Structure 1
Amino acid sequence: MSISDIRLVVLDMAGTTVADDGLVEQAFNAAALALGVEPGSPEHEPMLAHVRATMGESKISVFRHLFGDEERAQRANQAFEQAYHDLVEAGHCAPIPGAAEAIAELRAQGRKVVLTTGFSRATQDRILAALGWQQIADLTLCPADAGRGRPYPDLALTALLRTETDSVREVAVVGDTGYDMLTGTRAGAAVVAGVLTGAHGAERLRADGATHVLASIAELPGLLGAR
């Protein structure tokens, strides 16, 4: 089976198809402040470092790690989502250059495209609406749709099941973080492609299993080629 046999492309959103521009960190700062952690304080710095290292992971999982008990994690997650929603509503949300065109080309090649995220469904839908992307993909998935978020394989495997794709060897998983790469490798995807438009660099992407590293999502249709 060759790369051109890929039938399903599972794409991350923030950092891969949607520009982040520091929005996650800004929203995290608001969440930390809601829990009494001042940005720039000694307590805040290691938390921010953890957020950066775990970009791509389900956000509620990150907050459970940082704040311990479930009540505090849920409060932090709610504050994060509200801050992120406010940033999106203020116009701080844009596609990665060439992303919409790449998705259209992948679908024109006869491939199904699924957009995935570590955000909640409410946040994902807010981003899609802000970009006018409600119909851009065959399917959109968040961690609650799949069971577990990244770095587990659930999102990629749920995409396979929902699109009735025959084999994991017909799947490409694409993202900007090491957690995206782990999701792809654990799901058995034939192509696990990292892009350099987001959180992690080429070394981290390759260490976590990238089969290919691309400058951006715009290069993906050319990599996969005509079916």
Structure 2
Amino acid sequence: MTHKNHHDRHDLVVLDMAGTTVADGGLVEQAFTAAAERLGEDPATMIDYVRATMGESKISVFRHLFGGDEARAQQANVAFEEAYGDLVGAGRIAPIPGAADAIAVLQEQGRTVVLTTGFARVTQDAILDALGWRDLVPLTLCPADAGGRGRPYPDMVLAALLRTGAVDDVRRLVVAGDTSYDMLSGSRAGAGLVAGVLTGAHDEAALREHGATHVLGSVTELPRLIEVSEA
């Protein structure tokens, strides 16, 4: 079997956090409920939309829910981030089993790994600190780092490419996540491998419908999948 040349290697891997590399056990819904109650809103009327849009940047979720009332959306987003941060600080998150090892393997294979989130930077940093992951990868991105547009836009994936310079072609990108919006952002960025994982929000049908090229039980299967794709 002949190996493809260096230019066919998938040397940039963009991984989602909550649901993909981080297990947060439904904290998004808990934090959302707390934020809605703090604003005097009924969370029950909104929770279905929150579930459907898992992976989207939270500020855009609130903009939708509050019908373009920007001040209200910003107020809700701050309340959400504070509630989520409190839950993270209380030790309510953990790594997806084997995720840190999988990231280490990817890096040993010579790939650059970037972690992305739909949360604000302060919340992303709280998660990284809680897990001891601040130095796990060379770059972490939140929507503000990519001009403000989170998933399902391709901006964070493309920002990872631009900031790292790790690949010379979007087809050499790998994007992995647990939501439909992760899959959309990967396919819209032109990534050659868009892997859905079943450890988070959405099922195989939803992941494939929104652009997954592969569906894995967990991110632990990703290093092998990439190697096989390069063979």
TM-score, length-scaled by structure 2:
0.93
Aligned residues of 1:115 and 1:141 also touching (Cα < 8 A): yes
Q: Deviations over 1:39-89 (max 9, x none)?
A: 4xxxx23x1000000000000000010012011111111110111011011
Aligned residues of 1:4 and 1:224 also touching (Cα < 8 A): no
The equivalent position to 1:5 in structure 2, one of 3, 9, 18, is 9
Q: How many Å separate the matches in 2 of 1:22 and 1:93?
A: 10
Q: Secondary structure at the match of 2:37?
A: helix
Runs (4+) of structure 1 moved beyond 4 Å? 1-4
Q: Deviations over 1:7-48 (max 9, x none)?
A: 100000000000020100000001111221234xxxx23x10
1:64 and 2:66 correspond: no
1:221 aligns with: 223
2:152 aligns with: 151
2:21 aligns with: 17
1:76 and 2:80 correspond: no
Q: How many Å separate the matches in 2 of 1:210 and 1:11?
A: 14
Q: Mean alpha-carbon deviation: is it higher for 30-39 or for 125-134?
A: 30-39
Q: Deviations over 1:122-166 (max 9, x none)?
A: 000000000000111121000000021000000000000111121
1:34 aligns with: 38
Aligned residues of 2:8 and 2:172 also touching (Cα < 8 A): no
2:92 aligns with: 92
Q: Mean alpha-carbon deviation: is it higher for 163-172 or for 209-218?
A: 163-172
The verdict on how the C-alpha distance between 1:27 and 1:62 changes in structure 2, with shifts beyond 3 A counting, is same
Q: Secondary structure at the match of 1:189?
A: coil
Q: How many Å separate the matches in 1 of 2:36 and 2:126?
A: 22
Aligned residues of 2:114 and 2:160 also touching (Cα < 8 A): yes
1:171 aligns with: 173
Aligned residues of 1:63 and 1:76 also touching (Cα < 8 A): yes
2:47 aligns with: 48
Q: How many Å separate the matches in 2 of 1:77 and 1:224?
A: 36
Deviation at 1:4, TM superposition (A): 6.9
Q: Percent of pairs identical after alignment?
A: 69
Q: Secondary structure at the match of 1:225?
A: helix
TM-score, length-scaled by structure 1:
0.95
The code of the aligned residue for 2:126 comes to R
The code of the aligned residue for 1:20 comes to D
Aligned residues of 2:59 and 2:77 also touching (Cα < 8 A): yes
Q: How many Å separate the matches in 1 of 2:106 and 2:64?
A: 37
Q: Gapped runs of 5+ residues in structure 1?
A: none
Deviation at 1:173, TM superposition (A): 0.4
The code of the aligned residue for 1:105 comes to V
Q: How many Å separate the matches in 1 of 2:89 and 2:198?
A: 26
Q: How many Å separate the matches in 2 of 1:118 and 1:107?
A: 23
Q: How many residues align?
A: 222
Matches within 5 A, 1:123-202: 123-147=123-147, 148-164=149-165, 165-202=167-204
Structure 1 vs Structure 2 CA RMSD: 1.5
Q: How many Å separate the matches in 2 of 1:138 and 1:7?
A: 14
Q: How many Å separate the matches in 2 of 1:209 and 1:28?
A: 27
